[in-house]
Amino acid sequence: MMHLLGLRIFDRWLIGAAGVIAVLAIAVVLTCRSTAELDEDASWVSHTLEVISALDEARSHMLRAHAIERSYVILGGETFPPQFAENIAFASWWSMTTKIAAKAWRCC
């Protein structure tokens, strides 16, 4: 029995099912790509938050060192308190490490 466009009903159902399967396959591929991109974006966000946290820590060490220095200048004393050297050493180490990491990241 011939119908619309010379195709039997079964053939039209078969073509429709193949179309639906093709659309679903495309949707699955796009979903996988989107998920992979979201995962990569999430890792960059996590990395950014780690860097911001580390920079905040270095900044707090610098502020502590500055406060210790102010106290030393105002109150006077024979030598700088040991906490000043510890905070400056950490901030200097962090600054050097950050510069090296930034250069290495730009090169790659």
Does the pLDDT value for residue 66 go beyond 90?
no
**Confidence at 108, pLDDT banded by 50, 70, 90:** very low
What is the rounded CA–CA span in Å between residue 11 and residue 15? 6
What is the rounded CA–CA span in Å between residue 80 and residue 71? 10
How many domains does one find in the chain? 1
Which pLDDT belongs to residue 84?
Answer: 75
Q: How does pLDDT run across 5-58, given as a tens digit for each residue?
A: 566 777 888 888 999 999 999 999 999 999 989 988 888 888 888 888 877 887
pTM for the whole structure:
0.53
What is the rounded CA–CA span in Å between residue 76 and residue 73? 5
Mean pLDDT confidence for 61-75: 80
Question: Whose CA is closest to 63, among 94, 84, 79?
Answer: 84
**Confidence at 1, pLDDT banded by 50, 70, 90:** very low
Does the pLDDT value for residue 97 go beyond 80?
no
Phi, psi of 80 (to 5 degrees): -65, 145
Domain residues for the domain of 64 are 4-107
DSSP 104: H
Q: Which residue has the higher pLDDT, 30 or 91?
A: 30
What is the rounded CA–CA span in Å between residue 62 and residue 47? 23
